[in-house]
Structure 1
Amino acid sequence: MYRYFYDCEFIEDGTTIDLVSIGVVDEHGREFYAVSTEFDESKAIPWVRHNVLDKLPSPADPAWQARKTIRDDLYEFLVDPVRGVTGGRIELWAWYGAYDHVALAQLWGAMPALPRAIPRMTKDLKQMWDELGRPDLPKAPKDQHSALADARHNLARWNTMAKLRTKDLSGW
């Protein structure tokens, strides 16, 4: 089992979830971060403008990439055979994972285009937290709403909850 913890920032208008940025960390400290050059900033509500867009790196930062590049680099990060992941099971984890999963999956277009090596669902840390009785978790980072900071926070949440959980976590 190879677990990834991630977060997506996006613009959502009731019809479309438009990826702004994605941050992913694994249990071993590897990190991935990218900002899309293709989202429509004009559709962002004020909350997204203030809490997400205003905190993005400068457009000159190499994190800014076309969706196709994000998709290809993310796939390599998730299933790179050099790291022994291909052939093994991957788990994706996020806080309110349904939205994040849609934003991630849309990098490949329609859901059937999602590569087989990538899970068809994201496991939800919020649900795990509820099941455990809502224990105290690490405080949100100061740079909250940066996809990479939130992905790191998701790993910290997981580590806290994993210590509290008495039964096998592989069922999650």
Structure 2
Amino acid sequence: MTKIFFDTEFTGLHKNTTLMSIGLIDEFGDTFYAELTDYDESQVNEWLRENVIANFRLNDQQAGQFFVEQDELSLCKATTIRATKNEVNTALILWLANQEVRKGPIQMWSDCLAYDWVLFNDLLADYTNGYPQLPAQIHYIPMDICPLFEMKGVNPDISREEYSGRKASYWTGSKHNALHDALTIKDCYYKLQNEDPTA
């Protein structure tokens, strides 16, 4: 089963929250990063402006555009999009379908994922039958690194950046950028498992 590590940024810790951005990285290094243009701006407070929006990588001129870049050395692909929720849904379904063709069924991993998983389902799931039906290649049980910290004897309240050693970068921004946080989750997972993700 292929592991995909993901994170979301959203407009608040409440039931009416809306998705602002999502970042995913598979265990082989391919990434998907989206900034949504139709989140509920009336819910945005100063903290979100300073910590989330300030870490967005794309600008308004790139709205509706879809980019795929390939690293010449690693051959990893980076997919980015700034668009509406419906457009991001379409792009992410395509990206996930590519993952399945190349690597098999998908196990989703996040960190303290209560809101992340609900928003992931809201973005991707088909609710025609009255319950969320995710794309078939995604395993219906998400995995959370938070209890993994505890099982490995590490305080689950530790700073993820401190534990993983991940620094801010031009490419992924810093903490509270969804792609940066997804990369940090991946780094923490492999450190907790004492595995080298590049092996």
Q: Give the TM-score normalised by the residue count of structure 1.
A: 0.83
Aligned to 2:185: 154
Contact 1:98 1:122 in 2 (8 A): no
User: Which position in structure 1 is the counterpart of 2:71?
Assistant: none
Q: Per-residue deviation at 1:5?
A: 0.5
Count of residue pairs the alignment pairs up: 162
Match status 1:141 vs 2:171: no
Deviations 1:143-162 (A, max 9, x none): 11111111111111111011
Q: 1:29 to 1:13 in 2, by over 3 A?
A: closer
Structure 1: 5+ residue stretches without partners:
165-172
Match of 1:22 in 2: 22
Contact residue 5 and residue 155 of structure 1 kept, 8 A: yes
Aligned equivalents of 1:39 and 1:81: distance in 2?
27
Q: Which moved more, 1:134-143 or 1:39-48?
A: 134-143
**1:112 corresponds to which residue?**
132
Amino acid corresponding to residue 163 of structure 1 in structure 2 = N
**Superposed displacement of residue 81, structure 1:** 6.5
Task: Call closer, same or farther: CA 1:106–1:31 in 2, change over 3 Å.
Answer: same
TM-score computed with the length of structure 2 as normaliser: 0.73
Paired residues of 2:38 and 2:84 also in contact (CA < 8 A): yes
The alignment-based identity, stated in percent, is 27
Does 2:93 match 1:92? no
Superposition map of 1:1-172 within 5 A: 1-12=1-12, 14-56=14-56, 57-61=58-62, 62=65, 63-80=81-98, 83-85=101-103, 88-108=104-124, 110=127, 111-134=131-154, 137-139=163-165, 141-142=167-168, 143-163=174-194
Q: Distance in 2 between matches of 1:93 and 1:134?
A: 18
Note the aligned Cα RMSD (angstroms): 2.1
SS of residue matched to 1:14: coil
Runs of 4+ in structure 1 deviating by more than 4 angstroms, as ranges, are none
Distance 1:13-1:98 versus aligned 2 partners, 3 A rule: closer
The runs of 5 or more residues in structure 2 that have no matched partner are 66-80, 156-161, 169-173
